[in-house]
Structure 1
């Protein structure tokens, strides 16, 4: 009699039952599923397969990362070091400025030009410093520029993901394209204006001391200070401020930011908290500058500049201004997510309507239905009873595939549907190999049990080899591809694994039950 270990029977039954449970939420409306999910643990089968941009519609944004802004900011720091070093070396200079990724200045005494060049070159080994007469120029080396560009894009992707995820968008696709571009796809978002506003702000926060005696319109700004405009929601202060070039406390030390309301005025404000380092710096600055203004600067604009009344040692503070509720919520979100290393510009924008997505789903359903029907009919006509057993395994395979995609939180795209349709054909391909082998063994004179055992045992090697090569191709598609290609690769790889399990384990289990219960004398194949 065909032997099938008890632990294998238990394994197959457990896998099929759990797959049915985890695939079932895809048949339940989302509002009911959300209602049932309240209070239940996260491991419960409550996840559905998310639909991609091409299936439910949404927005497509191609963003450019302004890497030159990162380089210019770095060179501004080099310029501050250069000022200090040149003063120590008693080298006179003029026209020190950063523009388009190049730091340059003129040396008053040309005899000191070489010494000035060496002083700048010693600041950072990644600088390429050249001398043209009395003009010294410095810029990043090609390798250092590429490294900073790569780092800026990677950091931008992470911060974009935080901002979009916190805004409630489900399953966004965010990936790098080229050297300095980021692709963002937002399924289900028909109007991306709010998302564009969130991504359009660098959200670089800093606290700067205000020079209250300098005239911002006078044209002469003290060394170490610069003129900054007031933010649009700063209605109480002057239009221009003279603030320190470097922030006394950086927004990088923030740990949290939440919208709230001012108890006296009732206006929306943003409460923020520092980490231990930021709290210590903030306490020192406020203690040493009581009676002076401290400007809260966001993206080079002064949001407010309150007068420090006393030392603030609790590590927290409030940003106030003429905010609306939405503006306060957005600002808190931006500060929690962190500052972008460089500004982003929208290079391309497209909107996919939900009608087009519905057409794609309908076409996918028709293709899947036709494919399933053709496979079912073919297997029954070709292999009779065994074809029915193969179709049972095929249905179990589809359920396991849907359960795996739901459990992984995968996003289904149109190529993913193509992968499911392809999996249907591949799922019965292994059964075809087994049944043909059983037919050959039976025609060769073996009995019913011997033919079935030999058919399964001798076909496993061929099945494994054929599926392994396809699995390697899926892995390469996933590793080298992007976007929808990766979705197809994931669906295909999961389908390969589930089809092998269904053909080798489920089909054999059903045939074993038939042999043990009916004890057939012949095989009609």
Structure 2
């Protein structure tokens, strides 16, 4: 009896724990859309909740291609891809989009889903920027000025289609210099250019933090940055050696500002000024904090899923699951009577435990994920059917109830294990070699199968053993 009490306590303890884990998800999704949006903007979205994928919540899907030709020769492609994925994940996490599916596709492609972001321009700015920050001296020689005068007289940009300087400009450039375009002004002025020194004494690799700031006089947004100890020392020495020269702050080959170095700049901090909106400055600060990509990325595919389509998918998915759930419960009750009722209890607990586990891990639920849940519930019912049919066979042999229950579970165990193991193997292969929705299906199926075996074999046996304490001679199946 003590052993039975321990088993009952385990089941009840897991049930209480599951409700506790589910509470943040229930609380989050019972809020209105406006309340959730406000919480996300304030970075108050709970971490351990069940997230909705792109097909259920709506948002933007991007497929990126890493420009392998511009990778550092010393860096291996696999390492660069892993670093790019990690940097993109950091950008998205800091933006406030929880548990975003980001995965490698093939040799040099990266798939990114951004649930809740339907503004493709915002998504592209967040993900697609290389975020290579450089500090270069401006070349103010007569030769450099001659180049700029020549460029001003041209009706076409000084760069060809492949980004290479036109020959007539290239031959005029002072030795060891490069030409870079300035960021457009607030009034959309004519494009301006700078001739910069080729040496890059300090880069964004030394950044420790970046934040949005507001000019106290004009109220315009800017990006404040802080170097780490090594970067701060380099920056101080560099500015100290170049007082009264122009320092260009270059982000992704675009000059955002070129102030005069009035004195040695200590403290390891500075400000990037430009014609930024509040949102642009915020996103740029996020990108700089996350770090620069190992090479530029090109967005080769983008797809927007509207929230209304996502809501429709949720309704249809839940409706299909509910109809199937009700039908199975009714069938088990009618066909197996009390035994079917026990199986239905196990099925309900299976669903609760599965939802709690996914909430704890912050898993992302997609339509294929719902399919995986339904399949795992079907496998759990199949296990119960095997046990109940064994019980009927043992009962037909007129065996006592106290013997029917353990013998039926023991005989059904090998078949239950075989069917679940073969499905697990398939799910593991899907997770290993699949991507996006396929992985979501594999994850929910795998977790569901593990929980299904537990509820079908352990929980139902506990219920039957408890049944025996009050009905040792009767088994209604």
**Given the alignment of the two structures, is residue 382 of structure 1 paired with residue 310 of structure 2, yes or no?**
no
C-alpha contact 2:81 2:104 (8 A) present in aligned 1: yes
Structure 2 counterpart SS, 1:59: strand
Give the drift of 1:265.
4.4
Q: Which residue of 2 aligns with 1:58?
A: 59
**Given the alignment of the two structures, is residue 216 of structure 1 paired with residue 140 of structure 2, yes or no?**
no
Give the unaligned 5+ runs of structure 1.
39-44, 75-143
Query: What are the equivalent positions in structure 2 for 1:189-268 lying under 5 Å apart?
Result: 189-219=117-147, 220-233=172-185, 239-268=192-221
**Given the alignment of the two structures, is residue 358 of structure 1 paired with residue 311 of structure 2, yes or no?**
yes
Give the drift of 1:14.
0.6
Give the drift of 1:373.
2.0
Q: Which residue of 2 aligns with 1:153?
A: 81
Distance 1:185 1:449 in 2: 54
Q: Which residue of 2 aligns with 1:30?
A: 29
**Given the alignment of the two structures, is residue 10 of structure 1 paired with residue 13 of structure 2, yes or no?**
no
Identify which of structures 1 and 2 has the higher relative contact order when contacts are C-alpha pairs closer than 8 Å and 6+ apart. Answer: 2
Structure 2 counterpart SS, 1:457: helix
Give the unaligned 5+ runs of structure 2.
40-45, 148-171
Give the drift of 1:394.
0.9
Q: Which residue of 2 aligns with 1:449?
A: 402
Distance 1:276 1:237 in 2: 39
Give the drift of 1:491.
0.9
**1:479–1:171 Cα change, 3 Å:** same
Give the drift of 1:48.
3.3
Structure 2 counterpart SS, 1:296: strand
**1:523–1:5 Cα change, 3 Å:** closer
**Number of aligned residue pairs:** 444
Distance 2:223 2:194 in 1: 22
Give the drift of 1:156.
2.5
With normalisation by structure 1, the TM-score equals 0.78
**1:414–1:512 Cα change, 3 Å:** same
Q: Which residue of 1 aligns with 2:157?
A: none
Distance 2:177 2:280 in 1: 29
Distance 1:263 1:280 in 2: 28
Give the drift of 1:5.
3.7
What do residues 214-266 of structure 1 show as CA deviations (whole Å, max 9, x unaligned)? 43242543322223232224999993333211211111111111111234444
My pick for the range that moved more, 314-323 or 410-419, is 314-323
C-alpha contact 1:203 1:339 (8 A) present in aligned 2: yes
**1:214–1:152 Cα change, 3 Å:** farther
Q: Which residue of 1 aligns with 2:476?
A: 524
**1:164–1:508 Cα change, 3 Å:** same
**Given the alignment of the two structures, is residue 179 of structure 1 paired with residue 132 of structure 2, yes or no?**
no
Distance 1:4 1:443 in 2: 29
Distance 1:314 1:156 in 2: 30
Match for residue 357 of structure 2 among 396, 401, 404: 404
Query: What are the equivalent positions in structure 2 for 1:446-525 lying under 5 Å apart?
Result: 446-519=399-472, 521-525=473-477
**Given the alignment of the two structures, is residue 333 of structure 1 paired with residue 286 of structure 2, yes or no?**
yes
Structure 2 counterpart SS, 1:218: helix
Give the drift of 1:368.
1.1
Q: CA RMSD in A?
A: 2.8
What do residues 33-60 of structure 1 show as CA deviations (whole Å, max 9, x unaligned)? 989xx9xxxxxx9843222112222222
Distance 1:254 1:263 in 2: 24
With normalisation by structure 2, the TM-score equals 0.85
Q: Which residue of 1 aligns with 2:371?
A: 418
Distance 1:383 1:205 in 2: 69
What do residues 9-30 of structure 1 show as CA deviations (whole Å, max 9, x unaligned)? 2211111221233234444453
Distance 1:394 1:464 in 2: 18
Give the drift of 1:4.
4.3
What do residues 277-308 of structure 1 show as CA deviations (whole Å, max 9, x unaligned)? 11111111112222222221122222222222
Q: Which residue of 2 aligns with 1:321?
A: 274
Q: Which residue of 2 aligns with 1:349?
A: 302
Q: Which residue of 2 aligns with 1:299?
A: 252
Distance 1:238 1:189 in 2: 31
Distance 1:31 1:370 in 2: 23
Structure 1 counterpart SS, 2:313: helix
Over alpha carbons, which structure has the higher Rg? 1
Distance 1:325 1:281 in 2: 30
Distance 1:162 1:308 in 2: 33
Give the drift of 1:166.
2.0
Distance 1:238 1:369 in 2: 60
Distance 1:274 1:267 in 2: 23
Q: Which residue of 2 aligns with 1:273?
A: 226
Give the drift of 1:502.
0.9
